[in-house]
Amino acid sequence: MELRQLRYFLAVGEEESFSRAAQRCFISQSAISHQIAKLERELGTDLLERSTRATRLTAAGERLMPIAAEMIGLETKALSVGLDPRNRMRISASMSFATQILEAISLVREEFPQLDIEFIIKDFTERMAAVASGDVDLALIRGGVDRSGLETVELGLEDLVIVTSNKHPLSGNPTVELSDLAPYPLLLPPRSSQILLHTVMEDAFGQVGQKVKLGPSIPSDHTATLDVLTTPRSWTVVYADTADATPRRGLSVMREAHDRLRIPVCAVIRSGAVTRHELTHLFRALSQSIAGRGAATETTYRPLDSTEQFGPAQ
C-alpha cells in the first residue's frame, strides 16, 4: 500500500468523481483509476461503486476514509518536522478558494521571502479539526462557525451572481430583481451539501416578501451551468469568481439588483493563538484578494462575535 494510493482514494471519495479527483491531484483520470484498482486488489475488496452517473463509497470505502485522512495527515506532519515553525505557515481551504489564496501567498512572500507557506485542501470538517489541533494556522471558509476553541475573522464579502440560459425570459439584463425571479425554479445542490447557499437564498427572498421556488436538486456529477442550459426557464447562482472562469456561450450572467446575494469569507484560527506579524499580513492580503474578486466595496478584516455567525459554513 502506498500513501499516494490513499491520497487518490481520499480525493475520489470526497469529490465523488474520478475526473474531479484527477484534476485536484493533477494527474490523469486513468492513472488515478489504476492506482485505486491496485489498492482494492491489495485490500481484497471494492472501495468504490462506479456508475456512469456517480461514484459512491462502498461500506469498506466508508470505513477506510477516516483512516486514509489520518494517514495523509500524519505524512504531512512527518514532512514538516525539519521546518522551523517560525518560518512556516499552513492554510487550509477548499479548492474553490485557490485563486484568492495563491494571490495572497504571492503578496505575503514579497514581504517575507523566507516564509514557507503551504496550501492544503480539506473539506469543512477536516479544516476545523486541523485548526483546533494546530495542524494548520488558519482555515478559509464561507459563512461563520460557532465552535469552542475557534475564533472567526471576517476578511471580506463574496458576491453570488445569477446565471440563466440566454433563452430565459429575464436573460440579457445586467441586473435582475429577486421578485422577478420568484416564479422560476432555482437549481441548487441538495440542501444537505450546501446549507449555507440555501440559507442565503431563503433569507434574500424573505427580504422581498417572496419564497424561493426550488427546482430539482443538481446531481453531484452535474454542474449548475449545464443544467440551466438544458432547462432554459430555470436559473442558478454561482460565486462571481467561478462565473468569471466559466465559458459564457449560451449563458447570461446577471447581478441581483440590490446586492443582497453576498456571503462573508472568513478565516478560522485557534482562540488565544499568538498573532504573528506574518499572519496579520496574510489576513490583509486575503482581504485584498477577496475584495478584488468579490463584492464591489472593500471590507477590512475584523473579528466576528458569536451573534454575527451566518450558520453552517462551506
Q: What is the pLDDT of residues 67-106, one digit of tens each?
A: 988 888 787 667 666 555 567 888 999 888 888 888 898 8
Residue 267 clears pLDDT 80, i.e. is over it: yes
Confidence of residue 306 (pLDDT cuts 50, 70, 90): very low
Give the per-residue pLDDT at 84: 52
Average the pLDDT over 109-116 and give the result. Answer: 86
CATH no., domain 3-79 = 1.10.10.10
Closest of 195, 159, 183, 177 to residue 234, by C-alpha: 183
What is the pLDDT at residue 81? Answer: 63
Domain limits, CATH 3.40.190.290, in the chain = 85-314
Domain with CATH 1.10.10.10 in the chain: 3-79
Q: What's the pTM?
A: 0.61
Contact 97, 140 (CB under 8 A): yes
DSSP-derived pairing of the beta strands 251-256 and 175-176: parallel
**Is-contact 55 17, C-beta < 8 A?**
yes
Domain 85-314 belongs in CATH node 3.40.190.290: yes
Is the CB of residue 186 less than 8 Å from the CB of residue 214? yes
Helices 29-43 and 3-15: crossing angle in degrees, nearest 10, is 110
pLDDT at 291: 78
pLDDT number for residue 297 = 36
Taking a C-beta distance cutoff of 8 angstroms, is the pair 160, 297 a contact? no
* pLDDT more than 70, % of the chain: 88
Give yes or no for a contact between 283 and 135, defined as CB atoms under 8 angstroms apart: no
Q: pLDDT band at residue 295, thresholds of 50, 70 and 90?
A: very low
Look at residue 244 and tell me whether its pLDDT is greater than 60.
yes
Helices (H), the chain: 3-15, 18-25, 29-43, 59-79, 98-111, 124-133, 178-181, 195-207, 224-230, 240-244, 277-293
